[in-house]
Amino acid sequence: MPVESETARQPLSTQRILHAAVGFADEHGVEALTMRKIADELGCGVMSLYNHVANKEEMLAGMVDLVAAEIVPPAVGGDWREAMRASAATAHDVLLTHHWAPAEWSLRMPGPARIRYMDALLHVLSEAGLSSELVYRGYHAVTMHIVGFTLQQIGYRRGLTGDLEDLAGAFLADLADDYPYMAAHVHAHLAGDGHGDEFGFVLDLILDGLDRANAGS
């Protein structure tokens, strides 16, 4: 009986592994991600993964690059600030859904998709008429803002698992006297003040600053 091939087990591949791993990290966080768990998810043995992935570190790098590939790069040719804003917004969305990604992003060498994205950002800034120095600095400012701001947002959210009232209430009761400004800030967070695209607000601060610095020189 050479049969017995139940549903013709589809073969493993780097892409299939990476997709499974990203899905798992989205759901359970990257600290719970284990080679064995990914193997279970794919219905294969652990060591089979190593035929397509050098090691866990490289797999994580591949996962980050898969996320980078989801980001829509900015369009070249039109209003450069609008293009940057639109692309940054998609990056923000993508990094928020893959909430484990920002922490990995900065600590790893960029993969192909991320390099493609970096090149697109630099392309737009270069075509914007900025001085080469401002392109260089503006690129760092914008990318820093995208991942840094998102990272901060995620950290804030993580602190708020469980009952929001309880946690903030206990905090305020304990520390409001000693740290009044901090307490007011927490209050503002809870009240949802200052909302309305905080991400975009800081981005505009940077983009407008670049524009002004360019005009002033």
Contact 17, 53 (CB under 8 A): yes
Of residues 10 through 29, those in contact with DNA by CB under 7 A are 11-12
Within residues 55-84, the interface with DNA by CB under 7 A covers: 55-57
Residue 96 interacting partner from a second copy, DNA, none (CB closer than 5 to 8 Å by kind): none
Q: Which stretch, 7-15, 82-90, 147-155, 164-172, contacts DNA (CB under 7 A)?
A: 7-15
Site for a second copy in 155-194 (CB under 8 A): 155, 158-159, 175, 178-182, 184-185, 188, 193-194
The reply on whether position 137 binds DNA by CB under 7 A is no
Total residues in contact with a second copy, by rule CB under 8 A: 53
Query: Which one of 39, 67, 87, 143 is in contact with a second copy (CB under 8 A)?
Result: 143
